[in-house]
Amino acid sequence: MAKQLLHLVFGGELVDPKGVEFADLSKLDIVGIYPNYAEAEKAWRARAQATVDDAQTRYFIVHLHRLLDPEEPPRDQ
């Protein structure tokens, strides 16, 4: 069994599309937590494409496994 490399996918409306400050934190869209980068990327891609006409909305993938174990070298992507 492969080691879990947890990833969080979330997004929302940004104050400025060039930045990463959200307009309203209470309206963040938490898409989910995924066991590997490939699954997270599928979810991210689907949600990002669904909001492609809204320039203020942006989605991100956060490497939770790196936060949980910062000493471990990167292994995904």
Give domain limits for the chain: 7-68
Instruction: Return the pLDDT at 68.
Output: 85
Instruction: Return the pLDDT at 1.
Output: 66
Q: Output the CA torsion 1→44→6→13 (10° steps).
A: -170
Instruction: Return the pLDDT at 45.
Output: 98
Pick from 64, 66, 2: nearest CA to 32: 64
Give Rg (Cα) of the chain: 14
Per-residue pLDDT of the chain (77 residues), as tens digits, is: 677 899 999 999 999 999 999 999 999 999 999 999 999 999 999 999 999 999 999 999 999 998 887 776 666 55
Domain topology for 7-68 = Alpha-Beta Plaits (3.30.70)
Instruction: Return the pLDDT at 46.
Output: 97
